[in-house]
Amino acid sequence: MMSISQVRNGVIDELNRFNELFESVLSHDDFLLNEVLKLIASRKGKQMRPLLTLLCAKVFGDVNQHTLLSAVSLELIHTASLIHDDVVDESDERRGLLSVHKAYSNKVAVLSGDYLLGIALKNVALTGSIELMDLVSLTSQHLAQGELLQLDINSKNLSYEYYMEVIKNKTAELFSACAKAGGMSVGCDTATQEQLSRVGEYIGICFQIKDDIFDYNPNSKIGKPTGNDMKEGKVTLPALYALKQVESKDYNDIARLIQQGEATKLDIEKMRVLTLEQGGIEYAYSVIKDFADKAHQLIDAFPQSKVKASLHDYVEFVCERTV
């Protein structure tokens, strides 16, 4: 199985430079804000998005200050969105630890997320690139739009098309921006930037579907409770596939209750069992494979290098990861 350390091999020095810059912006003289920023800094995770920016930049050139500033800006936007999402979803945990709003309060979480967005804009502005500033701004808009889409409950919500629209905005758009920003920062032409953008989009789709599969996994290391998506009103791809197979009014009614936040523990367990019995997990893995293959095909056209191999490894890690 692919390890994250294997993926990082091609950009170890660059990732260290990113971390130095990222950590430098997560400090403040205000005591409360500094405490929240220290909490955030302690949960940096696998840094999948900045890693993608660095890899995509290094395939076509040398990682420079614009690359690092772009990676920091996008990671700050990602972090802010997680803090805000936890408030919206009323999630008490993030990566197995208390979420910011649970550790402090909703007010502190919302304002801290706003502060991170401000730092993100400041850092991308330091590049002096209107194109990079536009990319970061649009990405932030898409993240919010994806969250709003998920809150909109109506008849079209129980479809593959709607699900894909949500995850393209919430997850794939950010991966797409990270990949594209890497290319932009080293002067790639427009066509190459768009190729990188699509690679990021396909990776982001794989990443989100794998996250949705985790919701059916009892592994406590995942960082969110099993069944949490349905508790938060989300009917994801595995369950959507199962619903389509049975075409049952009773199960569709349960799905509606889940979306409205009115489902009981028994309702959620019924949907979980149906999904497993109808092959929802297997179907979701097949969709992951399709998008991963598309990403690999695009990467194949990039210049031959060790970093290109690391990009292929990155795709495999996203698909194989267990947490």
- pLDDT for 287 equals 98
What is the per-residue pLDDT for 219?
55
CA–CA separation, 196 vs 72, rounded Å?
A: 18
With CA atoms as reference, report the closest residue to 11 among 75, 41, 74, 54.
Answer: 54
Distance CA 105, CA 32 (A): 12
The neighbouring-strand residues paired with 98 are 93
Pairwise CA distance, residues 76 & 312, whole Å: 25
pLDDT at position 15 is 96
Domains parsed from the chain with CATH numbers: 4-320 (1.10.600.10)
Of the candidates 164, 4, 146, which has an alpha carbon nearest to the alpha carbon of residue 77?
Answer: 146
Asked whether the CA dihedral 228, 237, 48, 222 is positive or negative, the reply is positive
Amino acid at 299: I
Query: 94: Cβ–Cβ under 8 A, 6 or more apart, which residues?
Result: 43, 82, 86, 100, 223, 224
- CB count, 10 Å around CB of 282? 12
Output the pLDDT for position 222: 46
Residues 202 and 292: beta-carbon distance below 8 Å: yes
- pLDDT for position 220: 43
Q: How far apart are CA 69 and CA 185, in angstroms?
A: 9
Structure tokens of 151?
Answer: 């809150």
Question: Of 130, 139, 123, whose CA–CA distance to 67 is shortest?
Answer: 123
Tokens of 126: 């330091």
**Averaged pLDDT in 10-residue chunks for the chain of 323 residues:** 88 96 88 86 87 98 97 95 84 73 86 93 96 96 87 72 92 97 98 98 97 79 63 92 94 92 93 96 98 98 93 96 86
**Considering only CA atoms, which of 72, 75, 99 is closest in space to residue 87?**
99
Between CA 275 and CA 294 the distance in angstroms is 26
Do the beta carbons of residue 185 and residue 284 sit within 8 Å? no
pTM: 0.93
CA distance 175 to 170: 10
* Torsion-angle region of 41 (φ positive above 0: left; ψ -120 to 50: alpha; else: beta): alpha
DSSP bridge pairs for 94:
97
Residue 162 and residue 149: Cα distance in Å, rounded? 9
